[in-house]
């Protein structure tokens, strides 16, 4: 049962147990609320028979006090078992989703955009938080307590029990059959919300470009239409649920009429006492109000299927398996007939084979779209190859846990990601626990001193979201300092000096040259002067190895590498 609840409602094991406890607490609370009705029945019975005996008076007084205390106690239990437990589970759910995202291959993120994942972790989790604090326990608690009361009804008088309860299965069936309709509207509403979130995020990220091209007005008009569409979808979603809940609630109200009609007939036939009739009217009036809320809760529970599906799609996505041990004789990276495609039928690499030896610099060059960055990321197991094999020190990278494998890599991407923290802490990400002296040494090697000295608080300056206070070249140097600090046996540089001027590029290359000694270095570059000192060049064109060898060997062949060098020389002489 625990496993079923975990799967159905995307809960942890503790969350499933807490849900059961919360449901039990709601059942107890609902039964405690029936205590005043019981006392009232016995009081009316005494009055009907001629008055309240002195001995019974104290029973009613004590009963009222005990009833109030039991209701307060049960309410306190409900509060702790539903709200408090739900908030804890919500925290666990968000953390577990984040942990799962950390372990997923990059192929997953290629299918999802940032706003979609953010919506799942924040909005969908919030929806489920509300569901398990307000809807699910209350609904199942109401159903179970109603069944217990119904058993008592049937024992007392089955005819009146049918008169009271026949409306319940009919009402529940009407709402239950709304599943497909509600799922349709919820799915459309979610798509509209994602479109708005996407549009807002894109507007914030590209506002500079929109303004520079006088396009912000047109873009915001499109965004307004997305917001209007989302508003319309939310209204339709509410109407979709109301189409079933309102008729079901109206049918539920017929129960009181049925109780009065059947009770009147039985009274006329003298087969039902006035007191029993009064009891059924009293209990029915107490029963229908929470059942009306239960119909709304059921509709709300049905609407959570889409958020649960979205969360389960993350939780159930297969992770990249592998051992936690990285056993290598060296750190040579070998590609053996590797093929790879992001999408079916769109091959990016086709039968690629080359070796990047330890202690050497291997440069991946070639026209844009040739597969250079893809090959480097496959080496670090950001994705798994479709066919062929990639080894590091003789060990297949597919057999190593991605996090363990990445501990052997220092990577500098072309697109740098920084955090809203100090320069010091942004560099320290390269190796947590590094001393300030070690961080400063890496920063100096990466030529960071030049611009950090101009910052208000030096290395303790907060640099804004994604390093908004820094230029592209400055951000790139912080990223290189991270790699220098990590000091791993394998270095991947993806256009690491693309944002630097010629002087700084020369300085960084000197730092990289000191870093390279005894390590496996894989560089991706478009500028030929960047790789003049490389030990080996692998030229990729249209996903295939077109040429490979030393820079001198390839230039002497007069092939594509030679042509690329001459074209760049010509472009270097271009003037306005």
| Pairing mode of beta strands 333-343, 387-392 | antiparallel
**pLDDT score, position 514:** 66
Cα–Cα distance for residue pair 31/29, rounded to 1 Å: 5
Mark out the alpha helices in 304-338 (DSSP H runs).
305-315
Cα–Cα distance for residue pair 470/430, rounded to 1 Å: 19
Cα–Cα distance for residue pair 340/369, rounded to 1 Å: 13
CA distances from 473 to 196, 415, 477 (A): 33, 11, 6
Residue 96: is it exposed, middle or buried by C-beta count within 10 angstroms (0-12/13-18/19+)?
A: middle
Q: What single-letter DSSP state applies at residue 466?
A: G
State the Cα angle at 282 between 260 and 40, rounded to 5°.
Answer: 145
Cα–Cα distance for residue pair 105/463, rounded to 1 Å: 30
Cα–Cα distance for residue pair 547/540, rounded to 1 Å: 7
pTM for this entry: 0.69
The CATH number, out of the four listed (3.40.50.720, 2.60.40.10, 3.40.50.620, 1.20.1560.10), of the domain defined by the range 2-315: 1.20.1560.10
Name the CATH superfamily, with its identifier, for domain 322-408+490-498+516-576: P-loop containing nucleotide triphosphate hydrolases (3.40.50.300)
What string of H, E and C letters represents the secondary structure of 213-231? CCCHHHHHHHHHHHHHHHH
Sign of CA dihedral 522, 528, 529, 534: positive
Alpha carbon 400 to its chain centroid, in Å, reads 25
Token pair, residue 409, equals 């890599």
**What is the domain partition of the chain in residue ranges?**
2-315, 322-408+490-498+516-576, 414-487
**pLDDT score, position 534:** 84
Residue in the structure block whose two tokens are 């078992």? 81
| Pairing mode of beta strands 346-356, 395-396 | unpaired
Give yes or no on whether 322-408+490-498+516-576 and 414-487 have one common fold: yes
Q: Three-class SS of residue 323?
A: strand
First to last CA, the chain: 75
Cα–Cα distance for residue pair 118/189, rounded to 1 Å: 16
Cα–Cα distance for residue pair 24/26, rounded to 1 Å: 5
Kindly report each contact of residues 53-56 with a partner whose C-beta sits within 8 Å and lies 24 or more positions away, as own/partner: none
Residue in the structure block whose two tokens are 């409900």? 78
Cα–Cα distance for residue pair 491/488, rounded to 1 Å: 7
**pLDDT score, position 496:** 66
Element (H, E) at 419: none
Cα–Cα distance for residue pair 415/524, rounded to 1 Å: 13
Cα–Cα distance for residue pair 538/542, rounded to 1 Å: 13
Sign of CA dihedral 384, 386, 392, 394: positive
Mark out the alpha helices in 80-166 (DSSP H runs).
85-103, 106-111, 114-119, 125-130, 136-156, 158-165
φ, ψ dihedrals at 541, nearest 5°? -135, 120
Q: pLDDT by residue for the chain (576 residues), tens digit each?
A: 788 887 777 788 888 888 888 889 888 888 888 788 777 777 777 776 667 676 677 787 888 888 889 889 988 898 888 888 888 888 888 888 888 888 887 777 767 777 778 888 878 888 888 888 878 888 888 888 888 888 888 888 889 889 988 988 898 888 888 888 888 888 888 888 888 888 888 888 788 788 888 888 888 898 899 999 999 998 988 888 888 888 888 888 888 888 889 888 998 888 888 888 888 887 787 777 778 888 888 888 888 888 888 888 888 888 888 888 888 888 999 999 999 988 777 789 999 999 999 988 899 988 888 888 889 889 988 888 989 999 998 899 999 988 888 888 888 877 788 888 999 999 999 888 899 999 999 888 888 888 898 888 999 999 887 787 888 778 888 888 888 888 889 988 887 666 566 666 666 666 666 667 778 989 888 777 777 778 899 999 888 999 899 888 888 888 888 888 888 777 656 555
**pLDDT score, position 340:** 92
Name the CATH superfamily, with its identifier, for domain 414-487: P-loop containing nucleotide triphosphate hydrolases (3.40.50.300)
Cα–Cα distance for residue pair 192/309, rounded to 1 Å: 17
What string of H, E and C letters represents the secondary structure of 401-437? CHHHHHCCEEEECCCCCCCCCEHHHHHHCCCCCCCHH
Q: Three-class SS of residue 526?
A: coil
State the Cα angle at 276 between 271 and 281, rounded to 5°.
Answer: 120
């Amino acid at each position: 049962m625990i496993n079923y609840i975990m799967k159905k409602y995307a809960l942890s094991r503790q969350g499933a147990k807490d849900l059961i406890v919360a449901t039990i607490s709601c059942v107890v609370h609902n039964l405690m609320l029936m205590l005043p009705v019981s006392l009232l029945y016995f009081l009316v019975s005494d009055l009907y028979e001629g008055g309240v005996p002195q001995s019974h008076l104290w029973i009613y007084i004590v009963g009222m006090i005990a009833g109030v205390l039991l209701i307060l106690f049960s309410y306190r239990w409900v509060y702790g078992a539903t709200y408090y437990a739900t908030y804890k589970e919500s925290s666990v759910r968000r953390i577990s989703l984040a942990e799962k995202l950390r372990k997923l291959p990059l192929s997953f993120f290629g299918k999802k955009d940032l706003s979609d994942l953010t919506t799942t972790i924040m909005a969908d989790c919030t929806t489920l938080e509300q569901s398990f604090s307000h809807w699910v326990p209350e609904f199942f608690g109401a159903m179970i307590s109603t069944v217990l009361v119904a058993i008592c009804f049937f024992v007392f008088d089955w005819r009146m029990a049918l008169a009271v309860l026949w409306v319940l299965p009919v009402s529940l069936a009407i709402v239950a059959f709304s599943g497909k309709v509600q799922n349709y509207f919820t799915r459309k509403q979610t798509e509209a919300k994602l479109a708005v979130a996407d549009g807002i995020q894109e507007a914030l990220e590209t506002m500079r470009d929109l303004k520079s091209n006088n396009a912000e007005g047109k873009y915001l008009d499109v965004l307004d239409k997305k917001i209007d569409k989302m508003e319309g979808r939310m209204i339709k979603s509410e109407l979709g649920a109301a189409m079933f809940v309102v008729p079901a609630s109206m049918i539920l109200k017929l129960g009181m009429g049925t109780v009065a009609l059947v009770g009147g007939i039985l009274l006329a036939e003298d087969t039902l006492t006035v007191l029993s009739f009064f009891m059924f009217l009293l209990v029915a009036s107490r029963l229908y109000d929470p059942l009306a809320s239960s119909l709304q809760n059921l509709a709300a529970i049905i609407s959570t299927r889409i958020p649960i599906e979205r969360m389960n799609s993350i939780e159930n996505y297969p992770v990249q398996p592998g051992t936690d041990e990285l056993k290598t004789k060296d750190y040579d990276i070998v590609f053996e007939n590797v093929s790879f495609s992001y999408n079916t039928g769109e091959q990016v690499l086709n039968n690629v084979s080359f070796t990047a030896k330890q202690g050497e610099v291997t440069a991946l060059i070639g026209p844009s779209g040739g597969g250079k960055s893809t090959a480097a990321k496959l080496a670090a197991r950001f994705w798994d190859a479709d066919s062929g094999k990639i080894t590091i020190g003789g060990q297949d990278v597919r057999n190593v846990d991605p996090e363990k494998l990445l501990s052997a890599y220092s990577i500098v991407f072309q697109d740098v990601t920084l955090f809203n923290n100090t320069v010091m802490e942004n560099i320290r990400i390269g190796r947590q626990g590094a001393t300030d002296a070690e961080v400063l040494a890496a920063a100096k090697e990466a030529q960071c001193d030049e611009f950090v000295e101009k910052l208000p608080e030096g290395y303790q300056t907060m640099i804004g979201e994604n390093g908004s206070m820094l230029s592209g070249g400055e951000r790139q140097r912080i990223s290189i300092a991270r790699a220098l600090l990590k000091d791993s046996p394998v270095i991947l540089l993806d256009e690491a000096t693309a944002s630097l001027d010629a002087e700084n590029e020369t300085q960084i290359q000197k730092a990289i040259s000191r870093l390279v000694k005894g390590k496996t270095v894989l560089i991706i570059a478009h500028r030929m002067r960047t790789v003049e000192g490389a030990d080996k060049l692998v030229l990729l064109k249209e996903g295939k190895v077109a040429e490979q060898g030393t820079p001198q060997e390839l230039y002497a062949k007069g092939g594509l590498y030679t042509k690329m060098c001459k074209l760049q020389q010509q472009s270097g002489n271009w003037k306005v």
